[in-house]
């Protein structure tokens, strides 16, 4: 719309934009409606986790939003202490942080070799990595469980650290190799001409330049391990001393049954960390998803 029409016939402008808004009303209704649909189940969880038990069991959570407002922290106190969620939170951290750190460097070395070194079998090996992106974990569980049983690692944190390192590597190598391979060739060549060793090139050039994709990878692996149920279920199990929150909550679903105020509180405790990571680092998370859309 040009300045002239706005100045000359303001009324038309207003009418037109009103018509425009009305014509777009169905669009807004659909988009906003879907957003609400996506949000409301989580809001229900959050609201219920703060309501007193007797109200949760007898009235819908939406009635809790109307006065008289009755909220309590009691549910959180109970799940954190009596239902092992406090311990579970710590276990989740103890599992996730190492299981995120270990694979990154291992993958970065391999990605460096795949991207910038020539050797016989490079194509075939990397094709193998691409292929292994979609191997179902189920295909590996029994032999790995036997391996860990032999090493007396079942039910300990190192078991999940090692397993998650192995399972996370194909995606990590794939993502980093694609990123490193796209770095400018001239940069590498001039570094070598200046007499830099491969070691210097990796630590001074490639690794620092790859930080954006490494950041995506860290978030990805962190959330993947934090949210994992299957691997934890099989290699550490449900003992409160070692079980991460996913395993604890899934056990609570069976043992607490209808105690929704406790279940919702427990679920929210397990969601807190991913939500913080998500809101703080959403950009890198999305970037990681876009860069590696074939992870299974």
Over its C-alpha atoms, the chain yields an Rg (Å, rounded) of 26
CB of 38 or CB of 68, closer to another protein: 38
Question: What's the rounded Cα separation, in Å, for the pair 248 and 233?
Answer: 10
Segment 220-239, which members bind another protein (CB under 8 A)?
A: 223, 226-230, 233-234
Decide: is 28 part of the binding site for another protein (CB under 8 A). yes
Which tokens go with 126? 């990397």
User: How many residues touch another protein (CB under 8 A)?
Assistant: 115
Decide: is 138 part of the binding site for another protein (CB under 8 A). yes
- Helix axis angle, 260-291 relative to 245-256, nearest 10°? 150
Segment 158-187, which members bind another protein (CB under 8 A)?
A: 158, 161-163, 165-167, 169-170, 173, 181
CB of 77 or CB of 253, closer to another protein: 253
Do residues 210 and 176 touch, judged by C-beta distance below 8 A? Answer: yes
Binder of another protein out of 52, 53, 141, 209 (CB under 8 A): 141
CB of 3 or CB of 37, closer to another protein: 37
Binding part of the chain for another protein, among 4-12, 15-23, 31-39, 74-82 by CB under 8 A, reads 31-39
Decide: is 29 part of the binding site for another protein (CB under 8 A). no
> Greatest CA separation found in the chain?
86
Segment 183-212, which members bind another protein (CB under 8 A)?
A: 197-199, 202-203
Measure the CA dihedral 166/168/171/172, to 10°.
-90
224 phi and psi, to 5 degrees? -65, -45
Which tokens go with 162? 């090692």
Task: Sort 218 into a burial class: Cβ within 10 Å, 0-12 / 13-18 / 19+.
Answer: buried
Residue carrying structure tokens 């050039």: 205
CB of 7 or CB of 184, closer to another protein: 184
Binder of another protein out of 1, 58, 66, 67 (CB under 8 A): 58
Binder of another protein out of 79, 85, 144, 188 (CB under 8 A): 144
Residue carrying structure tokens 């001039």: 190
Segment 106-125, which members bind another protein (CB under 8 A)?
A: 106-107, 109-110, 112-114, 117-119, 122, 125
């Amino acid at each position: 719309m040009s300045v002239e029409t706005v100045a000359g016939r303001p009324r038309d402008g207003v009418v037109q934009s009103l018509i425009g808004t009305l014509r777009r009303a169905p669009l807004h209704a659909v988009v906003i409606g879907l957003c609400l649909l996506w949000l409301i189940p989580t809001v229900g969880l959050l609201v219920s986790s703060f309501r007193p038990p007797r109200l949760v069991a007898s009235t819908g959570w939406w009635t809790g939003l109307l006065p008289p407002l009755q909220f309590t922290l009691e549910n959180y106190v109970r799940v954190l202490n009596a239902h092992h969620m406090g311990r579970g939170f710590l276990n989740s951290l103890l599992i996730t942080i190492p299981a995120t750190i270990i694979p990154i460097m291992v993958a970065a070395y391999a990605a460096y070799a795949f991207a910038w070194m020539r050797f016989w079998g490079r194509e075939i090996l990397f094709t193998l990595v691409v292929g292994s992106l979609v191997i179902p974990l189920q295909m590996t569980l029994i032999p790995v469980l036997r391996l860990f049983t032999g090493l007396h690692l079942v039910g300990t944190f190192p078991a999940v650290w090692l397993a998650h390192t192995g399972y996370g590597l194909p995606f990590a190598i794939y993502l980093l190799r694609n990123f490193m391979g796209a770095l400018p060739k001239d940069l590498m060549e001039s570094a070598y001409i200046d007499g830099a060793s491969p070691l210097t090139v990796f630590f001074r050039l490639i690794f620092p330049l790859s930080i954006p994709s490494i950041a995506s990878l860290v978030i990805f692996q962190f959330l993947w391990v934090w949210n994992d149920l299957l691997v934890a279920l099989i290699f550490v199990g449900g003992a409160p001393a070692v079980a991460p929150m996913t395993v604890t909550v899934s056990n609570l679903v069976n043992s607490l049954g209808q105690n929704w105020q406790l279940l919702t509180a427990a679920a929210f405790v397990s969601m807190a960390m991913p939500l913080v990571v998500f809101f703080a680092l959403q950009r890198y998370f999305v970037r990681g998803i876009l860069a590696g859309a074939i992870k299974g």
